Structure 1
Amino acid sequence: MFRRMNWSSAINSSLTVVALNPRDSFTAALTKNMIVVSLCISINYINGVMVHTFRKHEVFISSPRYTLFIHLVINDMIQLLLSTLLHVVSYAFYTINVSLCIVLLLISITTTLNTPLNLAGMAVECYVAIGLPLRHSQICTIRNTYIFIGLVWTAGTVSILPDALILVATEPVPFFYSRVLCIRDQVFRSSYSLKKRNASHILCLILVWLVLFFTYFRILFAAKGANKDFRKARNTILLHGFQMLLCMLSYIRPMFENAMQVLVSSKYLSAIGFCSYIISLILPRFISPIVYGLRDQTFRKFTSRYLLCKTR
């Protein structure tokens, strides 16, 4: 028999969680893990082909837009791999070493924050390309793109660094050699960490959505004509907005699941938690291949060749 998982607040960091009810049936546990692993392999295969396509062609390497996109893809691959790994481990072993869990949490929390910030950067690049076309080549250079990517990772690291410092300062040494269910609230147990996490999530939500609303509406206004490129940009913007909405679900998911614990019978919580896990963590990773891999003609031409394992 396998343990039944309730997907609680820690899924913000893309990791699995603690049990309300002690066990899932073997069939239910096996089915859930097969679904998650199959989706992870499929999505990461497609994303891996896109990374290979990007690396092989100068037209993509020299483009800030594709560079931002491929950074998002790599970030999603890391996040999805960690999420799947912890999902399977939580059923198979339930607990892992605290020190290993800390490393996985730090990476997972950072990549979780990277996603909305990267999408905001892609929105700004799209706005500059359409709203300020004469200045696009000056503003959106490859050098500036890599600087932005560095700032994205810096922001994610700075966000979790205080939690790590507090953890080292407040927890006894034996704690780091013990075993825990690998979730954020089980490791970063300080009340300050909880308050800081909520504050940083709210700040991130506000800043990113302000950027998105400003750039998206400006682009939509500029793209209201019948020009084919403008229509394509408009549709891409809508997909970006949908992807951002899905990504943001991971931030409001704890409140949703806490409400479900009060409103819904406990026998349905496992299924509800699993569905919210798929929707908020896996589905957004599936949107990126659709936005560029299937809709972008240039990228599709090369990607389809590699997906089918053709060399010519």
Structure 2
Amino acid sequence: MADNSSLVVGGFSLRQINDRVIIVQILVMIFLCINLLLIITFFKKECFYTTARYILFAVTLLSDSLLLFMSDILFIFAYFHFTLQVWLCINISAVVLLYVTVTPVTLTAMTLERYVAICMPLRHGELSSTRSTMHRILIIHGLSSVPCIVVLLPFFASAPFSFYKHYRICSVEMFILYRWQDHIRSAVHQFYFLMMCFIIVFSYVKIMKVAKAASGDDKKSTRKGLRTVVLHGFQLLLCLMQLWGPFIETAVLQMNFRLFINVRFFNYIMFNLAPRCLSPLIYGLRDETFFHVLKNDIFCGLFKRYI
């Protein structure tokens, strides 16, 4: 959360703040429990951790869970006005900055995987091997680290060593020392936004062409892949809207402070928490194989408990 998250405490009554904090904690706990259940299911069957799309799905679950946990810590710290030493805040913020980007980049990789599976089936086995998927995960984290480096590198070059021992309310915006840093961060985010949108649209159009030419079982499989790409696109849009949140909030803050508080909370719920609940829907529930194993685990667990 930003430095001005601490101002939220002064902008609302205690009752209102408590209601909002409770809502966030309930949502975070629900999403973390669901993600944990899906991660456990992922390791139950060998076909899951040897198949590209399931491995990438697990990456999104792990990155979403870590991001939910870390961002919730920052949310609570800002609410209670807890301060941290700057060096510790850097470590927490680096994780948040990295995994804010990992999920949309992974979703883009999953979309490309569906494109290859449907439009280039002869190459799908080669490109989706476990080894290739591991390399892809390294590339995903490498690409996702660029916005983090853009924010932190100028800070390391500019901040005096003594500053790292100071206590501050932890926020990513604390590392933006110059206006040009904000412009560079904005340019990088916009570039990522455009590239990911282009990949989603490109994959959708190509799969649409295959869907029109397919027949029978192939058409059914292609349409399912097409729906998956659409859901990925919607989830990716929500994730990418989070990158635009700071710019929207800055513009609103100049007009009305109370409106800014409401917009900030709305952005956190809609573009931080909500996209993290869509991964279980897209793969955990829509995928027949995964859902079958998940259902068996749940019902067998309940059956054993009451025997």
TM-score of the superposition, structure 1-length normalised? 0.88
Query: Larger deviation: 154-163 or 65-74?
Result: 154-163
Distance in 2 (CA, whole Å) between partners of 1:166 and 1:172 is 12
Distance in 2 (CA, whole Å) between partners of 1:16 and 1:138 is 49
Distance in 2 (CA, whole Å) between partners of 1:302 and 1:220 is 30
Cross-structure match for 1:123: 111
- The alignment yields a C-alpha RMSD, in angstroms, of 2.2
Cross-structure match for 2:227: 235
Distance in 1 (CA, whole Å) between partners of 2:242 and 2:4 is 12
Cross-structure match for 1:58: 46
Structure number with the bigger relative contact order (C-alpha 8 A, sep ≥ 6) is 1
Distance in 1 (CA, whole Å) between partners of 2:205 and 2:250 is 34
1:22 partner SS: helix
- C-alpha displacement at 1:310, in angstroms? 4.7
- C-alpha displacement at 1:88, in angstroms? 1.0
Equivalent residue letter for 2:223: R
* C-alpha contact 2:55 2:133 (8 A) present in aligned 1: yes
- C-alpha displacement at 1:131, in angstroms? 0.4
Equivalent residue letter for 1:232: K
1:58 partner SS: coil
Equivalent residue letter for 2:282: V
Query: 1:98-131 CA deviation, whole Å, 9 max, x = no partner?
Result: 1111111101111111122111110110001000
Equivalent residue letter for 2:169: L
Equivalent residue letter for 1:250: Q
- C-alpha displacement at 1:82, in angstroms? 1.0
- C-alpha displacement at 1:291, in angstroms? 0.4
Query: 1:63-106 CA deviation, whole Å, 9 max, x = no partner?
Result: 10101111111111111111111111110134322111111110
Cross-structure match for 1:141: 129
Cross-structure match for 1:280: 271
1:61 partner SS: coil
Matching of residue 294 in structure 1 with residue 285 in structure 2: yes
- C-alpha displacement at 1:18, in angstroms? 4.7
* C-alpha contact 1:16 1:83 (8 A) present in aligned 2: no
- C-alpha displacement at 1:39, in angstroms? 0.8
Identity %: 28
TM-score of the superposition, structure 2-length normalised? 0.90
- Structure 1 stretches of 5 or more lacking a match? 1-6
Cross-structure match for 1:160: 148
Structure 1 residue corresponding to 2:61, chosen from 73, 82, 88: 73
Query: 1:137-163 CA deviation, whole Å, 9 max, x = no partner?
Result: 012211111101001112222432354
Equivalent residue letter for 1:84: D
1:259 partner SS: helix
Write out aligned runs for 1:62-101 (5 A): 62-101=50-89
* C-alpha contact 2:77 2:169 (8 A) present in aligned 1: no
C-alpha spacing 1:260/1:21, structure 2 compared with 1 (3 Å): farther
Q: How many residues align?
A: 299
Query: 1:11-55 CA deviation, whole Å, 9 max, x = no partner?
Result: xxxx98352672422211111111111111111111111111111
Equivalent residue letter for 2:29: I
Write out aligned runs for 1:247-286 (5 A): 247-263=239-255, 265-286=256-277
